[in-house]
Structure 1
Amino acid sequence: MYETFFEMEHTPFSRDVPSEQLYESPYVADSLGRLAYAADHQLFAVVTSDAGCGKSTLIRKFTGMLPKDEYIFLYISDSKLTPRWLYKGLLDQLGIESRFYRGDAKRQLQKEVEIIRGVQKKKVVIILDEAHLLEKETIEDYSLD
């Protein structure tokens, strides 16, 4: 009703607003710059804030701003992940059937990331949304080094 009155193309505060049309405050711009630096240098970054402050929206804007021909984004949002299912989920997104055992799947993912970096010349950005809800074992196991 108000969308028509105000001649809006999208309903505000919904997930269907294109990422390039999301509001970019100075704080968001700073966060986006830091995330872009981390992605470009293949560093580990953590986004923290209180619930409802826009962390997931920030990540959506971030993934929308980086060139798709230079980056591959893998996104996981499941607070009940075990290490094995984390690697399986990431490999599934790459279109690769995961090996059964956690250690094998981890090495398989490491190998695929190196192939993407070396052959396709793309940088891999792995986003774990709601990572603060993950089990300690999953967080400790998650290292592609």
Structure 2
Amino acid sequence: MYKSFFGFQQAPFDKGIDSSMLFQSEAYKEVLARLDYLKTTRGFGLITGDPGVGKTSTLRVFADSLNPSLYKVMYFPMSSGTTMDFYRGLAFSLGEQPKFRKVELFFQIQNAITDLYDKRRITPVFILDEMQSASAQFLHDLSIIFNFDMDKRNPFILILTGLPTLANRLALNQNRSLDQRLVTRFHFSPLTPDEVRDYIKHRFRHAGVSRNLINENAYEAISSSTGGYPRLVGNLVTQCLILTFQKQRDLIDEEIVFAASAEAGI
């Protein structure tokens, strides 16, 4: 009901927003620049950040920007299944019927990547999400699977992404060989207070409302309460809109923000 009350054509913080309409924060622009560099050089890249900071949505923008006739994008969250499930899924996504033995599976994956890149002129792009939960053995295996011609070339793009602890794990001696192969790395920071204001207005405009619905003190309270994390900003502002509608007010103030924060547990 709050949508029609304020004149929104859709929920302003709908997760299904088109990737071309995402808010371009400084962190967003920087990570896309790093990924564009990785597209040129190929090899390993690392993106870290806290939950809700915008890693996955930015990677979706990058994936959507790739020409499907030149790149084959494969996304794997490490939270689903075992490491062997991942290896088999990797082979299957490359068009192979997965082998059962681990060593045969590795050769199968390597051969499929080489065939895709050398014969079909398509660069495989692997996005491995939630990698902070990957085992030390799995991180070691990645160095083996993605080692081509004694590490002389990179016929692939592989993006590791996860929480900030992932960077700390890669810095350990046991993972140093993988860490040293990173072509680029980036830590995703939350929105600044000014960006929080611009982000909210951006999402409102794309939902069909251009007029201001939030006063300046409320913007400051939203930024302070959420720490600038886009997911939390969206949750909090949505709750603010609901409370403002229930009170039949026209503007979100700091009182509404504090009440909404308590209800949303933020």
Instruction: Please indicate the TM-score interval, normalised by the length of the shorter structure.
Output: 0.7 to 0.9
> 2:134 aligned with 1:134, yes or no?
yes
- TM-score, normalised with respect to structure 2: 0.50
* Pair 1:114 & 2:114 matched: yes
Distance 2:106 2:12 in 1: 40
Q: Which has the higher strand share?
A: 2
Residue 37 of structure 1: how far off its partner (Å): 1.4
CA contact (8 A) 2:69 2:122 kept: yes
Equivalent residues in 2 for 1:1-145 (5 A)? 1-4=1-4, 5-8=7-10, 11-79=11-79, 81-143=81-143, 144-145=146-147
Structure 2 runs not aligned, ≥5 long:
148-266
Q: Do the aligned residues in 2 keep the contact of 1:83 with 1:142 (CA within 8 Å)?
A: no
CA-to-aligned-CA distance 1:77-115 (integer Å, 9 cap, x gap): 033654432221111222321101111111111111111
SS of the residue aligned with 1:88? helix
Q: Could you tell me how far apart the structure 1 residues matched to 2:133 and 2:94 are?
A: 24
Amino acid of the structure 1 residue aligned with 2:21? Q
d(CA) in 1 for partners of 2:2 and 2:117? 47
Q: Distance in 2 between matches of 1:39 and 1:79?
A: 26
| 24 and 56 in structure 1: CA distance in 2 versus 1, 3 angstrom threshold | same
CA-to-aligned-CA distance 1:24-72 (integer Å, 9 cap, x gap): 2222111011112113321201100112111111111111112222111
From the superposition, tell whether residues 15 and 106 of structure 1 become closer, same or farther in structure 2 (CA, over 3 Å).
farther
Q: What is the letter of the counterpart of residue 141 of structure 2? A: D
Distance 1:100 1:20, change over 3 A: same
Further displaced range: 128-137 or 20-29: 20-29
Higher helix fraction: Structure 1 or Structure 2?
Answer: 2
- The 3 A distance-change label for structure 1 pair 130 and 94 is same
2:120 & 2:67 partners in 1: Cα distance? 14
Structure 1 partner of 2:185: none
CA distance in 2, matches of 1:129, 1:54: 13
CA distance in 2, matches of 1:13, 1:57: 13
What is the rounded CA distance, in whole Å, between the counterparts of 1:129 and 1:61 in structure 2? 15
Rounded Cα–Cα distance in structure 1 between residues aligned with 2:3 and 2:36: 33
Instruction: Provide the C-alpha distance between the structure 2 equivalents of 1:119 and 1:2, rounded to a whole number of angstroms.
Output: 55
TM-score (norm 1): 0.88
Letter in 2 for 1:37: Y
Cα 1:120–1:7 shift into 2, 3 Å:
same
CA RMSD of aligned residues (A): 1.8
